[in-house]
Amino acid sequence: METIRLYRLATGWVATFSDPTVKQLFGTDTLPTAFTAQASVDVVRTEIQRRNPGADVQVRTGNV
């Protein structure tokens, strides 16, 4: 099962993917999301999970 870990940075939310295809395609396993830093953890997690139903979506604790 693919894992997506979400992190909030000052500029917005980013996602780190366990799927090696992401790194092959983009040269990194971490990509920005469409969510600003003001978006709540609940909204971000829910929307990322909805768009990736087969993935285990996690949020990095201490960073939300």
Cα 35 from chain centre = 10
Successive 10-residue mean pLDDT values, the chain, 64 residues: 96 97 98 97 98 96 60
Alpha carbons 19 and 12: distance in angstroms, whole number: 22
pLDDT of residue 61: 73
pTM of the model: 0.90
SS3 sequence of 20-48: HHHHHHHCCCEEECCCCCCCCHHHHHHHH
pLDDT of residue 27: 98
